[in-house]
Structures are given as structure tokens and as C-alpha cells.
Amino acid sequence: DIVMTQSPDSLAVSLGERATINCKASQSVLHSSNNKNYLAWYQQKPGQPPKLLIYWASTRGSGVPDRFSGSGSGTDFTLTISGLQAEDVALYYCHQYLTVPITFGQGTRLDIK
Amino acid sequence: EVQVVESGGGLVQPGGSLRLSCAASGFTFRNYAMTWVRQAPGKGLEWVSAITSGGNTYYTDSVKGRFTISRDISKNTVYLQMSSLRAEDTAMYYCAKEQTWAVPHWPDSWGQGTLVTVSS
């Protein structure tokens, strides 16, 4: 199984500042046949289901604000939220879909400082 | 608008059975894979099972032999039959539409979840 490890477990950022969440895979999630990284990011607010933010490591989902961006390749990935807004307080999960079992990171809690 | 609505959760004793349902609408159900993901109270997300548009099924190791995923195209519904339930199966169970017909891909639309509690 591919183990996904996020860092930090939690962070607090001031409104308007940048938040950065890291995700490391235990093996590469880059598929050689199409040179795509099989990595997605989700946001989960309290009492709500997860919401897709990013897929293919850097493609924003439908309706996702452009302050959310994803980067990285192979085993190391980053979710960046530029210009943090109060509504961004949530848990964030990375997710690999290269192989079954599909696996998620343990989650990163983002709060306002 | 894509919608997935789960039902069937509840309180069940250890060793018991439960069938979860997930009704889908707003997209061509037969063309997409569907996935179940669970979240134990206060914990992270755990993928449980998925079924492709063609009916191929996949399970995480901890539920193999105990859970069965299936789909009824005529009813736009996917099911998760759960048996030999354990306390560690207690979780919110989310149904989600996959991005394409195959597994694995990324779930792009999620339901609100149905809560399963396994306790005596």
C-alpha cells in the first residue's frame, strides 16, 4: 500500500497570509505512461463531506478558487492557499489514486492565527 | 446537479449485518464508477470499496470477505452489504461518484454520509 504522510498535522495562519501543506508518498505516484501524478487534495469542513480541490496534483476542481494551488511530482507534493480567508478553516487531505487500495493522508487542520 | 444520497446506517450489534444504499442522480450513472469511503469519529478518511461501471469490484483488506459492493443500474443505486460487523467498522460512510468509469480515480462528488455504529 502507498502510505501518504502529511505535514504539519496542524497549522495556524493569519488572514491574508499563505498556508502551505505538504504531502509525501511512500512511493512515486507518477504514472510513466502518461507522466501524470495521481494525487488529489480535498477540503473537509466540520459536519460536511470532503470537497475536491485539486486533481492530477495541480489541476483545480470545478469552482475552486484560484487561491488554492497544488504542486509537486513523484513523492512530494504541496497544497498552497494564498491569501487565507476565514472560510478556509478546515481539514485538508491528500489522496493517491495510482493504485488500489486508494489511500489518504492523515489530514492537516488549518486554523486562523 | 450531481447528487448522491446515502441511507441505511444505524446501530447494529457486533457480528451483525447492515446494507447501505446510495442513490445517485444528475449524471449518467451507468458510465461512472462509485466508491465508499468511511471516517471513524474524529479520525481521517479511509477508502473502503469501489465498483467500476462494468461491475468490477475492489475492497480494502480489512473488509474483504465481509463487505460486498454492488450496483443496480435500473435504480441508479449502489449498495454496500456489510456483515460480521466489528466495533472498528463504526464510522460515517460516504458514497462518492468517481471521476470516470474506472477505478481508481478521484471521487468528485460526495454524499452527506450515513452513520454506522457497531456496539452492544
Nearest CA in chain B to A106: B44
Give the contacts of A20 (CB within 8 A, at least 6 positions apart): A78, A79, A80, A81
- Select the residue of A48, A93, A97 nearest B105 (Cβ to Cβ): A97
Cis check: omega of the bond before B14, within 30 degrees of 0? no
Residue B24 pLDDT greater than 90, yes or no:
yes
Confidence of residue A79 (pLDDT cuts 50, 70, 90): very high
Size of interface A-B (CB pairs under 8 A): 54
Assign B104 a pLDDT band (cuts: 50, 70, 90): confident
* Residue among A61, A93, A101 minimizing CB distance to B60: A101
Query: Over 90: is that where the pLDDT of B68 sits?
Result: yes
- Does B27 contact chain A (CB < 8 Å)? no
- Test mutation, B43, B52, B106, chain A, max A CBs within 10 A: B106
- pLDDT per position as a tens digit, A24-37: 999 999 999 999 99
Q: Do B58 and A103 touch (CB under 8 A)?
A: no
Task: State the best of A44, A102, A104, A109 to mutate against chain B, taking most chain B CBs within 10 Å.
Answer: A102
CB contact under 8 Å between B45 and A42, yes or no, is: yes
Residue in B60, B105, B112 closest to A49 by CB: B112
Residue B4 has pLDDT above 90, yes or no: yes
Q: Which of B41, B87, B43 is nearest to B62 (CA)?
A: B87
Average pLDDT, chain A: 97
Kindly report the nearest CA distance between residue B30 and chain A, in angstroms. Answer: 21
| Partner residue opposite A93 with nearest CB, options B45, B105, B113 | B45
CB contact under 8 A, A93 and B107: no
Please report the pLDDT score of residue B19 as a whole number: 98
**CB distance from B117 to chain A under 8 Å?**
no
How far is the C-alpha of B47 from the C-alpha of B56, rounded, in Å? 16
Looking at every residue in chain B, the average pLDDT score rounds to 96
Q: What is the pLDDT of residues B40-65, one digit of tens each?
A: 999 999 999 999 999 999 999 999 99
Instruction: With CA atoms as reference, report the closest residue to B114 among B39, B60, B61, B59.
Output: B39
Q: How far apart are CA B108 and CA B62, in angstroms?
A: 24
